[in-house]
Every structure is written in C-alpha cells, then in structure tokens.
Structure 1
Amino acid sequence: MALLDIQDLTVTIPGSTRYAPPVRLLDGVSLTLASGGTLGLVGESGCGKSLTALAILGLLPDGLRAEGAIRLDGEDLLTAGERRLCALRGRRVAMIFQEPMTALNPVRTIVDQVAEGPRRHLRLSRRAAREHARAVLHRVGLDPSRVSPDQYPHALSGGQRQRVVIAIAVACGPALLVADEPTTALDVATQARILDLVRDLVQGEGMALLMISHDLGVIAETARDMAVMYAGQVVEAGPTARVLAGPRHPYTSGLMAARPQRAGQPGAPLPAIPGAVPPPDARPPGCPFADRCARADTGCRTRPPLGTGPDHRHSVACHHPLEASP
C-alpha cells in the first residue's frame, strides 16, 4: 500500500455569481508515493502544485471544496475532521513552506518554535522539548556556537531561516515531508546546500518526500519519480530519469527546452513556450495545453485527452504524444 495515494482530486471554488457554476482549480489529480520514496511535482506557476500540497495537509483557503481521495497510510484525509488533521500535521506529514519569513513567528525564539511540535506530538516536557529542538537545529546545520537557538528569526540569514523551517518540519520524524519550492528565495550556493540537507534528512530518516518546484534541475537532483502539472491536471508522470530522457508530452518537452543550460550560445534568448497558462475559469473544453501546442488539432481543442503510456509507469495525457524513448 502506498504511503500517499491521491485519486481523482478535484478542488473547486464557487462561481463569481450566484448562478455561475463552480470553477475547477484542480481537475482529477492522481498521484502515489511509496514509503521512503521521492516524487517531484513540476510545472509553471498557476498549474496547481502548491494547491495540491495544501490539500494534502488540509490547509485549503476558506471557500474551496476538495473532492476525491487523499489517503495517508490508508486514511482518507479529506474526510478527517480538523482535530484529526491537527494530530497528523507535524507528526505524520509536515511541510516546508516557500518563504521562511512568513512561516516563522517573529516574536518567538527559534528554539521555542522548533520545540512546539515535540511538546504537542511527542508529549515532551518544556525542558525536554527544548533540548530536542536544540539537537534538531544542530542536525540541520545551525551550530549553537555560531547561531544561538535563543535568537529570533529577524537575526538570521535567509538560508538560516530556511533551516529553521526545515527543523520545525522534521522535528517529530514525519513519514511524509512536503517541500514547496524550499529554495525559491535563496541564492544559488545556498539553494544547493538546502537541497543537500533535505536529501540527507530524507534518506537518513527514511521519510517520503514530495518535492514541489518549477525547476527541472531541482526535480532531477531530488526525486526518483516525477509528475508534470499543467492547468490543474497531471499531464505526464513516470520515473524522473525516463521522463527527462524522453519527454512525451509537448509541455514537458517545452519546459526542458527552456532550461538555461539548454539555451545554446551565451547571450542567446531562452526558448519559451508561447502563451500562458489559462486561468481556471477560461480553460478550453479539450486539452488545456492545446492553445500553446504546435501539435494541436481540432480534436485536441474539443476532447480531453486520456492518460496513455508505453507502460504503466510512464503515462502521458496527450492526443499526439511525442515518440517514446527506446
């Protein structure tokens, strides 16, 4: 049984008027992640990656409705009450958020923020929780001889704050770690160190990792399997090495062509996918990528594609997929 099993997840928001139909933000998302596995979720901004993460943790904004199933160890999180979700967050599933300064409390010391989870979930005393938190902070690279656990977030660098956020997420040893663009606001050198840290923690603790990123390079470095999202749907999924070696969906191929290292001569413009991701209330009735795809025909614009693939591990939702790698 998969640790995380998402089946036909749909997230809707009420229409703009009383009589308007609900708008689908996520449309039939299905993903699986085994215990100790690593899955990358990639796509442009506005494709539904972060919304999928928020749905897993039961943190969707008010007014949004989720349907389908999100099972963690067989338990459907969509039917769990808030009290049960509070018991699971931090203990069984935890999240590293994009921007550490908004994820941290500016008026509490970093050791107290890391200690909060162990006090609640591990039933430690205040003193024991603080000692546990100090050890976790040291584990994520914040040596107390250089960074005092009694400091406040404003006194830390961006990379140090992100390490605190990671410490909070892993303090209770969750089975599933969701990392939502954990290196977005960091410089390149710090990004590499943070990714190394996440990878080491996941491997050392045997956690499963759901890595969300717009950067294919990050996914290649951290995830054994990957799923490509576009306009609220999964359009391609499979082993990372196979997908990157032979992308079958034109959107995946376009993302790969737009990578800086594939741009050709220095100073040459980056190849770009024409157009933009359609807003949720203006998606076409057929393939959502049709208006940006050079391979699209009338059928693509009128009929939603079904998932197909050379085998069950590499699937693609496209009427005219690219040739599979041998």
Structure 2
Amino acid sequence: MALLDITDLRVEIAGPGAARLALVDGLSLTLERGQSLGLVGESGCGKSMTALAAMGLLPPGLRARGRLTLDGEDLVTASEPRLCGLRGRRLAMIFQEPMTALNPVRTIGSQVAEGPRRHLGLTRRQARAHARAVLDRVGLDPGRFPPGLYPHQLSGGQRQRVVIAIAVACGPELLIADEPTTALDVATQALILDLINDLVAERTMALLMISHDLGVIAETAPRLAVMYAGRVVESGPTARVLAAPRHPYTRGLMGAIPRGRGAPGAPLAAIPGVVPAPDRRPSGCAFADRCPRADAACATTPALRPDTSDQAVACHHPHERPDPTGSVAP
C-alpha cells in the first residue's frame, strides 16, 4: 500500500449559480515510503492546492472530493480533530514563505518544541531539549542561534531552517515542501535543498517537493509529475522526463530554462499565453490554445497513459520531438 494515494482528486470552488469550478481537476498520483516525488508547473496549475488538500488546510469556500489517503486513512473525510492529530506527527509541510509561516511573537525554540509536546508527550523541559537538538541538526547551532531568538532576528535562510525544524521535529512519514527555496538567494537555496535531501534520507521520509523550478526538482526528486490547469500532463523518472519530454508543455518549460548559451541579452524561450483560469479552461486539451502542435484532435481531452517505459503523458501527439534548442518545435 502506498503511503500517499491520491485518486481523482478535485479541489472545487463555487462558480456562477450552482456550478463548481475545479482548481484541481482529477489528479491521481501515489508516493511510497522513502520515495521523493516532484510536482512542477507554472503558478495557477494547482500544485499548492494539492498540498493544502493533503494537509486538510484548504481555505474557506474550497472543498476536496475524490480519494486522498495516508497509509489507507482517508484525509478528505477525516474530522478536524483527527487531522490535528496527524499534522506534524505523520505528515508535515514546509511553506514557501517562512516569515508568514512563523509566529513573530514567539521564540523559535517554543515554536519547534510545540509539536513534540503535543504529539510525543514530552515534558516542557524535554521538549526544549528536543527543540535545541533539532535546531542544531538543521544548522542553527544553539550557541550562535539560541532558541530564545525571535524570527525577525534571523535571516531568510535561517528562518527557513526553523520552518524545516518545526516540520521534522516529530519525525513525520510524509514531508510536503511547497516552494521551500523561492525567496532565497542561489547559495542559500542550494544549502536548504541539501538539508532537505539529507533529512529525508536520514529519516526515510516520503517527500512531495512542489516547485515551478525544474532545477530544484532535478536536485531533490527522482520522479516527477508535471501539472497543467489542475491535471497531471506528464510523469515519470525525472532524468528521463527532462532528457526526453513528451508533452509540449514540458518541452516549453524546458525551453524557458536559462542555459548559458546564445548571444548576450538574448530573450529566453517563452510559452505564449497564460494558464487559463478555472472558469476559462477550453474544452478538450487545456493546453491547446498555447500549443503549436494543436489540431482538431485536441478538441477532446487526452488521458494520461503510458508512452514509454515508466513514463506517461496526456497528449494526442506525444511522439513529436522538440527542436535541438530544447524549445517547443513549431
């Protein structure tokens, strides 16, 4: 049994009249114990909504439908008290902006110690000692960064280390990281990614890494799923998908990566258009109006099906190859 099993997940918001609009539209994926999976796509594709649905933290007005289980337990129908018992203990999340994830009027030590006191039954003194050990493990030596500091006294990278410490303090089985390095400089980003990889390996956690950055996914997740307009459009081993992307959207994302070649100041390749809002998604393939390969067949919605060994794609033209620059061929 997979640790995380998502089948036909829909995250919906009220639309005109009695209509319900899908922010996540029929998402299916699985994550085994000790496995790392990357979820990639532009803003508005439904990545963060998938994470919030798994955590039971959807904003008011949104609802989840479908099957979303943790070790066989349904998280969609679980009560709030049950979810409170699971969050932090069995599944945890690293949020992308540490300054909003941390409580500004509480010390970093008290915030890390809160989970172990609640979930592990530690005394106040034991929890404080545990917090110091976890902060030390994530690179915040208590001698230089005492637990009595407040978030505003730390840099962005140091605050993100505190957020990671809170997430792993109780040894969760599933760790969800939602754009954990977006607000950090490149050097700090590399250190944070190394830290997350080390912690996942040490504690045999499953990792769901969410990012718009294919480079981040390549460094952290052996497998990836590409989301577009609420659906997975391509999935498989990360190295294989990045070396031979089958879906035009994946090729477009690859073409937009700076590669250090070409004339100075030359513009990056870009995918025309934007991700359609839930109330403006076309019938059939949602990517059709941005795709140079679109034709009459794209008026029907392609199913996600195996294309090559261990690689799947939702496209009517999966065997069209990109041009030598890595961008979508016309």
> Structures share a fold, TM > 0.5?
yes
Provide the secondary structure at the position in 2 that maps to 1:261.
coil
- How far apart are the structure 2 equivalents of 1:197 and 1:266? 34
Residue in structure 1 matching 2:302, options 291, 302, 305: 305
Alpha-carbon separation, structure 2, partners of 1:169 and 1:246: 35
Distance 2:198 2:143 in 1: 22
SS at structure 2 position matched to 1:237: strand
The offset of 1:308, in angstroms, is 2.1
Cα distance in structure 2, aligned partners of 1:229 and 1:262: 26
Shift of 1:266: 3.0
Tell me the CA shift for residue 213 of structure 1. 0.4
- In the superposition, the TM-score normalised over structure 2's length comes to 0.95
Counterpart of 2:10, as a letter, is T
CA distance in 2, matches of 1:322, 1:287: 16
For residue 2 of structure 2, what is the aligned residue in structure 1? Answer: 2
CA contact (8 A) 2:88 2:115 kept: yes
Tell me which residue corresponds to 1:80.
Answer: 78
Letter in 1 for 2:22: R
* Equivalent position of 2:11 in the other structure: 11
Percent identity between matched residues is: 72
Partner residue in 2 for 1:185: 183
CA distance in 2 between partners of 1:324 and 1:224 (Å): 23
Question: Structure 1 residue aligned with 2:149, among 121, 146, 151?
Answer: 151
Contact 1:263 1:271 in 2 (8 A): no
TM-aligned CA deviation for residue 149 of structure 1: 1.1
CA deviation profile, 1:78-97 (whole Å, cap 9, x unmatched): 11111111000000000000
Residues 243-295 of structure 1, C-alpha deviation per residue, up to 9 Å, x if partnerless? 11110000000000100126633321100000110011100011000000000
- 1:198 pairs with 2:196: yes
What letter matches 1:181 in structure 2? E
Aligned mates of 1:272, 1:130 — CA distance in 2: 50
**SS of aligned partner of 1:305:** coil
Q: What is the count of residue pairs matched by the alignment?
A: 322
Counterpart in the other structure of 1:106? 104
Q: How far has the Cα of 1:68 moved from its partner?
A: 0.6
Partner AA of 1:165 in structure 2:
V
| Equivalent runs, 1:206-217 vs 2, <5 Å | 206-217=204-215
Contact (CA 8 Å) 1:247, 1:322: kept in 2 or not? no
Question: Residue 276 of structure 2 aligns with which residue?
Answer: 278
Please point out which of 313, 316, 320 is paired with 1:316.
Answer: 313
Is 1:54 matched with 2:52?
A: yes
In 1, Cα distance between the equivalents of 2:319 and 2:112? 47
Counting only pairs closer than 5 Å after superposition, residues 187-266 of structure 1 correspond to structure 2 as 187-261=185-259, 264-266=262-264
SS at match of 2:259: helix
Any gaps of 5 or more consecutive residues in structure 1?
none
Q: Relative to structure 2, which stretch is displaced further, 58-67 or 167-176?
A: 58-67
The structure-2 alpha-carbon separation of the partners of 1:10 and 1:139, relative to structure 1 and needing over 3 Å to count, comes to: same
Equivalent AA in structure 1 for residue 253 of structure 2: L
Give per-residue Cα distances to partners, 1:191-213, cap 9 Å, x unaligned.
00000000100001111100000
Q: TM-score, normalised by structure 1?
A: 0.96
Structure-2 separation of matches of 1:57 and 1:263: 41
Contact 2:307–2:313 at 8 Å: present in 1 too? no
CA distance in 2 between counterparts of 1:262 and 1:268 reads 10
Q: Could you tell me how far apart the structure 2 residues matched to 1:303 and 1:101 are?
A: 44
Counterpart contact for 2:307–2:318, Cα < 8 Å: no
Deviations 1:192-235 (A, max 9, x none): 00000001000011111000000000000100100000011100
CA drift of 1:20 comes to: 4.5
Preserved contact between residue 176 and residue 209 of structure 1 (Cα < 8 Å): yes
Identify the residue that residue 31 of structure 1 maps to in structure 2.
29
* Equivalent position SS for 2:235: strand
1:310, 1:324 within 8 Å by CA — same for their partners in 2? Answer: no
> Match of 1:69?
67
Q: Counterpart amino acid of 1:105?
A: N
Query: Do the aligned residues in 2 keep the contact of 1:10 with 1:27 (CA within 8 Å)?
Result: yes
How far the C-alpha of 1:324 sits from its partner, in A, is 7.9
Structure 2 unaligned regions, length at least 5: 323-330
Counterpart of 2:6, as a letter, is I
Equivalent residues in 2 for 1:116-195, closer than 5 Å: 116-195=114-193
Find the aligned partners of 1:87 and 1:265 in 2 and give their Cα distance. Answer: 55
Q: Distance in 1 between matches of 2:309 and 2:57?
A: 31
Please say if residues 114 and 167 of structure 1, whose CA atoms lie closer than 8 Å, have aligned partners that are also in contact.
yes
Could you give the per-residue CA deviations for residues 15-65 of structure 1, whole angstroms, max 9, x where no partner exists?
Answer: 13xx25111111000011110000000000000000000000000011112
- Residue of structure 2 aligned with 1:44, choices 36, 42, 45: 42
Following TM superposition, by how much is the alpha carbon of 1:313 offset from its aligned partner in structure 2, in angstroms? 2.4
